[in-house]
Structure 1
Amino acid sequence: MNEEIAWLAWTGLHVTAWKLIGYTGALMFGGRWLVQFIASKRAGKPVIPRVFWYMSLLGSFMTLSYFLFSAKQDSVGVLQNLFPSFTAAYSLYLDIKHRGWHRDRAGH
């Protein structure tokens, strides 16, 4: 998974499968703020939809796996993504505990 993906050579970047996982995780982790912005704009007040926590958790795990298992093996990246994983997991647990599994469905 650390070998360059040949069909992406036209980009001029050295892209590996691990980098694609890392890029996807970073986009997911950053994109959660767009989701939160849209939900707050619709509600007319600050809200954090449950998908924000799912995106946080998945994005953290994906970038964490990149820093752990790729040729990069960067301890700074590991620490940077390890702590948000715990926070997102705990926040998701609290959201489910206090609002139930189906809080984002219409009519609930």
Structure 2
Amino acid sequence: MLDELVRKLDFWAAFGLVAQLAFTARFVVQWIASERAKRSVVPLAFWYFSLFGSTGLLLYAIVRADPIFILGQGLGSFIYLRNLTLIYRERRGGPATQEETAT
């Protein structure tokens, strides 16, 4: 089994693996931040790991021509980017839209 894994490990497989590790690391980052705060928190790094991992996996899925994976990661990348936009808008003191103040 290990021989087959090594044989199939081309550039894109290695790229996809790194992207998946970045995507998974977001949970480790969130867990550590929550433990330190002694409450559940979602640190800014969580959203960056989410965006970078998801975008990397989306690129991997496009190269591998996997439509299901493309749809799933494409939507996620949009959501992570939107969350980062909202965070930076709030930090700049920018105007909130009605949807943002409704929650």
Residue in structure 1 matched with residue 35 of structure 2 by the alignment = 41
Q: Distance in 2 between matches of 1:74 and 1:55?
A: 22
Q: How many pairs align?
A: 88
Question: Percent of aligned pairs with the same residue?
Answer: 35
- In the alignment, does 2:20 pair up with 1:26? yes
Normalization by structure 2: what TM-score? 0.80
Residue in structure 1 matched with residue 99 of structure 2 by the alignment = none
Unaligned runs of 5+ in 2: 93-103
Q: How far 1:99 sits from its partner (Å)?
A: 2.6
Unaligned runs of 5+ in 1: 1-10, 101-108
Amino acid at match of 1:33: F
Normalization by structure 1: what TM-score? 0.77
Aligned pair partner of 2:65 in 73, 78, 92: 73
RMSD: 1.1
Q: Distance in 1 between matches of 2:10 and 2:57?
A: 14
Q: Distance in 2 between matches of 1:95 and 1:47?
A: 14
Amino acid at match of 2:32: I
